[in-house]
Chain A
Amino acid sequence: MSETSPAITQATLVKKAAPKSDYKPADVSPQRRVQRSFAVRLWSVRHSRLLEWFYARFSDMFLALHPLWKRIGYGRVEGPIKFVEKRVKGFMFDCRMCGQCILSSTGMSCPMNCPKQLRNGPCGGVRANGNCEVEPDMPCVWVKAWEGSRNMVHGDKVLDVQKPVDQSLRETSAWLRVTAQAAAAREAARNPPNPGAPA
């Protein structure tokens, strides 16, 4: 964009001055480097409706098991559940264990795989072919999320504004958290607080 040759920018100069070696990493962002190929991830997006149906049954089952979890103690089951959750969701969605799963609001495409970790939609840098601005070979997580959400029954949840990630919940089980919260909500609905009673 400058008056002189447009190809020379500050960034180009910096890149040229960087020390050269035979080893050149394939990917740009660390996010991408910890992932395998994204074939499975894309399968999950294509089958978002099936997964939505399955997850609804699965979460009901987990909620039904709430008394069991409570008897054993949520703290004690956390280890094994997290072990399974991390591997299952890691395989299916390249899950990053943010601990506050919103896959059902993002068309079964995990937003934490975005190099900018956007949870509310695509940035303005998506390439014309639908690939990521940072990782030219990776399909944009949010282009896929939009496609996935269109297949889903409650796909319009993609239009909800998501709160920022609570970083203190990283590496915790989203399954157990959702279950415990749903159980608490069910409990509250069953025993509405007596309006006459003192707080």
Chain B
Amino acid sequence: MIGRQPDENPAGIHLPLDPLPGHTSRGRLERVLRRGEFAVTTELNPPDSADPEDVYNRAKIFDGWVDAINAVDASGANCHMSSVGICALLTRMGYAPIMQIACRDRNRIAIQGDVLGGAAMGVANMLCLTGDGVQAGDQPGAKPVFDLDCMSLLETCRIMRDNGKFLSGRQLTTPPQLFLGAAINPFAPPIDFRPYRLGKKIAAGAQFVQSQYCFDVPMFRTYMQQVRDLGFTEKCFILCGVGPLASAKTAKWIRSNVPGIHIPDSIVKRLEGAQDQKKEGKQLCIDIINEVKEIPGVCGVHVMAYRQEEYVAEIVDESGVLKGRQPWKREIRRDDQLVAERLDHILHDEITETQVDMVKTAH
């Protein structure tokens, strides 16, 4: 008997899971969330290379600590390997990627094609974003497309999945089975509109949302209170975005240069006062996780540790959000391992048989 992990297709790790009632996708993330477990997602730093090993190596450090990995779509309008490409590689290895789709670079024709392509490659989760403006990135001369916006993109994906049709009404032969996500930013003005905007996203098709970096827990708590009062927590899984700050200097730089990330003074002060700012940044992240996980309606955390990916495992471990649960991990199958153990010596035995010896032993 070969012991299997939960949420794995017995016929092969790269294959979609069996459909379950009440589930719209055949992915792992939806199962984890619908079971009521506290989910952990993270973000893969996309490589600037054409080598698949770069993607595999970057995904490997999350093994056994996260339920899904976001494949970013040129975040910050900087050129990197495409999210479709990353997702294609990750699904081959059995990971559960969340394919981010930004409206900045592609029009509705390209996006609908990518949704089908991604779904065909086994991508079960898609995150619909508007995307940063081109002026923020390394190619400010590019043409901003913004043909759809995050809301109409969500609706488009939902129509493709539920009605089995393109936006034009043309029929799909096999609709994509998707778990649709969106982003929320409770920390940017207009603050009173933000909870209603989540309602709009749910109406458009969002089933889970990941928030922007949360550094101001009281503000997030107020937002969650409003969201609960509107009854949105029953219709949508909310994952809170968290991440470690490398230093007080970085925090100040992000605050003044990255729009949409709100860092209160108390956080900067706490970092400045610390001996080892990097360690304090990590501890701060763990403290925030421990606070937000107690807020009713928060179903998981989205750990964004840009260029500090090696800390994700430590942060998840030390915060104890998994409560002893181990997310799916890429493992060698037990029978393969048995064969490998028995025959491994072949590779290492230093027996050089000459033909003369072979003739001698044969007699």
Q: Which A positions have Cβ atoms within 8 angstroms of B? A: 1-3, 6-7, 9-11, 13-15, 28-29, 115-130, 133-134, 140, 142-143, 146-147, 159, 161-165, 167
Contacts and interface: CB of A to CB of B under 8 A. Distances in A.
B262 A1 contact: no
Nearest to B107: A167
State the majority secondary structure of interface residues on B: loop
B259 A125 contact: yes
Interface stretch (B114-122, B134-142, B282-290): B134-142
A128 B262 contact: yes
B158 to A, nearest CB: 10
A128 B250 CA distance: 18
A121 B135 contact: no
Interface string B249-263: 110011001011010
State the majority secondary structure of interface residues on A: loop
A146 B197 CA distance: 11
Categorize the interface residue count of chain B. 35 or more
Contacts of B164: none
Contact of A116 (B139, B144, B199, B249): B144
**Most chain A Cβ neighbours within 10 Å, of B140, B189, B197, B250:** B189
B130 A6 contact: no
Given A1-B246, A116-B133, A121-B197, A11 B151 contact: no
Given A14-B138, A126-B259, A161-B204, A115 B152 contact: no
Nearest to A115: B133
Contacts of B259: 125-127, 133
B135 A28 contact: yes
Contact of A143 (B104, B189, B262): B189
A134 B204 contact: no
30 contacts: A1-B306, A6-B254, A7-B253, A7-B257, A9-B138, A10-B78, A10-B138, A11-B78, A29-B144, A116-B103, A116-B133, A116-B144, A117-B146, A119-B149, A120-B152, A120-B200, A122-B188, A123-B260, A125-B132, A126-B188, A126-B190, A128-B189, A128-B262, A130-B190, A133-B136, A134-B135, A162-B151, A162-B152, A164-B108, A164-B167
Contacts of A3: 246, 307
A134 B138 contact: no
A165 B152 CA distance: 9
B249 A118 contact: no
Given A121-B193, A122-B188, A140-B189, A161 B151 contact: yes
